[in-house]
Structure 1
């Protein structure tokens, strides 16, 4: 069943599917949109978004395409939150599971999440490369996760003591 017209109902269905999976190919396939049609609409919507960045004075016939683009972005963010929440929850009991979840997210980053745009600031934390993603040191072959976490906890405690004594 090929979809030929973009409708509010179709946009809502796509948003629901995308919120569940986070993956474009799965979502548009589940609602019956051919790949070529999905990307045709998406490209048109992205061009319109550039033309109308404030979403003011958008012609009525183009508003549906912008709604389509907004739904994609919002739904992907919802799915991303679910996946990162699952990773953080898993990290409390099994660090390796958390890493596997995060690896899965970032392995499919182009299909999963839109790029994050962030202005660089001088007050960015050390090691922050402007992506908003924490840089996690890789473990050597002689280190295990428990040792790494203990070392980080010890470093944090030492830093807290140092800063407290400086303020006192």
Structure 2
């Protein structure tokens, strides 16, 4: 009887340690799907943290005429910094190459500009991702826009890829189909 109790207590103790150890491991890691969803939420959160308004204020207030040095035109430093600040929130979710690609394609600036032009308040209503392979996901983001008391819902579809950078999963590219 005493042996059974010792065995039972030992087994329960080992199970408790295993459970605690597993729970601690899961709390520290963020799943690849969570990274993708967080990236998409930030990407489609129109004017998130007033990023577009701040960019436009600095662009309009500044002498935005390009400076030419050695035959190469470049934007004034304060506008270059405003663009860098615009993309700061993506550093937690996207690789440097993805952010560079977004800058070159003016993503998501052109979406911010479009909705600002129509004075529409846009929110991410739902994000659906479907794994395609080990590091690629198809997505559908349902945007809900309120404009002049009219509510419009519109899906945006595309694909993202991920890769590990220094042991951290980051979005490496985004393509939008519609």
Higher Cα Rg, which structure:
2
Q: TM-score, normalised by structure 1?
A: 0.21
Higher normalized strand content (fraction of residues)? 2
